Amino acid sequence: MKKVYIYKKFERFWHWTQAALIIFLALTGFEVHNSFTIFGFEQAVFYHRIASYMLLILIAFAIFWHFTTGEWKQYVPTTKKLKEQIRYYTKGIFKGEPHPTKKTTLSKLNPLQILTYLAFKVILVPLIVISGLMYMFYKTIDKNDVVIISGYELKTVAIVHTVGAFLLITFLIVHVYMTTTGHTPTSNIKAMITGFENLEEEDKENSETENKKNSITEK
Ligand code: HEM
């Protein structure tokens, strides 16, 4: 095993800030939805708006970071070892079998994680963000103080946004469980806090092919 710097500073900042904002948006959003009372309706609406602006800024920085560092390449889907990975999570893990894929700095995600995180980034987050913005700008006031109502149904937007919220919460619960399936139950979480993780040493052949495939810069 070798101690490897796997999660860079911005990546850790983005990860934890995004997690905190999503949990806060879920709390305030479900209060708006009338599921419970914590802040009071008016305050919940206000906080939900502020947190959603913060999330939009964070997402803009994260997109920039993914493309300028080349980290987007980590999310190119592959079917290589996908079956083995599904078999591992459904059977092998309960028998103490070794992980079918090795984690390296240039290939941090297993094929199932790639598919899940890609769906999170290109389907789930856009779904909640776009429906949220449509919710927000349903009613606007133009420069002559005339109230403009958009041409879509608010009810549909609210339903799509709420479905997105439930899907995000489901993702969060499964994601937290999956983080406990590393070398030890807390090794993945510690790595996302400190940046460092103990990984199996890369064999030469493996790391050479990875190096050819990727050109991810250290940022
Ligand atoms: C950029 C992201 C988001 C934007 C722009 C946004 C925007 C909005 C807006 C405008 C509303 C109506 C209340 C209000 O006027 O403030 C709302 C409601 C709500 N939001 Fe969000 N939101 C976002 C992210 C989230 C996230 C991440 C969650 C949960 C994980 C969430 C859950 C909810 C729920 C459950 C409601 C109540 C829906 C209803 O019952 O009508 N939102 N959101």
Tokens for 103?
């984690």
Q: State both tokens at 109.
A: 């995600």
Indicate whether 156 belongs to any domain: yes
Q: Which residues line ligand 1 (CB under 6 A)?
A: 22, 25-26, 29-30, 32-33, 45, 48-49, 52, 55-56, 128-129, 132-133, 135-136, 158, 161-162, 165, 168
Is 217 within a domain? no
State the total domains in the chain. 1
Which residue has the least CA distance to atom 14 on ligand 1? 45
Q: What is the mean pLDDT of residues 163-167?
A: 98
- Measured distance CA(125)–CA(18) in Å, rounded: 11
Output the domain CATH number for residue 88. 1.20.950.20
Indicate whether 202 pLDDT > 70.
no
- Residue 168 belongs to domain spanning: 2-212
Would 175 be classed as within a structural domain? Answer: yes
Over range 57-79, report the average pLDDT: 97
Spatial distance between the Cα atoms of 118 and 98, rounded to a whole number of angstroms: 25
- Does position 212 have pLDDT exceeding 50, yes or no? no
Which segment of 111-115, 137-141, 179-183 scores lowest on mean pLDDT? 179-183
Name the β-bridge partners of 2.
199
218 located within any domain = no
Q: Ligand 1 pocket check: which of 52, 121, 175 to mutate, most ligand atoms within 8 Å of Cβ?
A: 52
Whether 36 is in a domain gets the answer: yes
- Mean pLDDT value across residues 4-8: 95
C-alpha of residue 29 to centroid of ligand 1, in Å: 5
Record the pTM: 0.90
Q: Is pLDDT above 90 for 186?
A: yes
Q: Is 219 domain-assigned?
A: no
Q: What is the pLDDT of residues 145-159, one digit of tens each?
A: 999 999 999 999 999
User: Is residue 132 one of the residues assigned to a domain?
Assistant: yes
The two tokens of residue 210 are 């990875």
What pLDDT digit, counting tens, does each position of 92-129 carry? 999 999 999 999 888 999 999 999 999 999 999 999 99
Average pLDDT of the chain, as a whole number = 92
**Most informative mutation of 22, 24, 25 for ligand 1 (most atoms within 8 A of CB):** 25
DSSP-derived secondary structure for 33-73: TTS--SS-HHHHHHHHHHHHHHHHHHHHHHHHHHHHHSGGG
Which residue CA neighbors atom 43 of ligand 1 most closely? 132
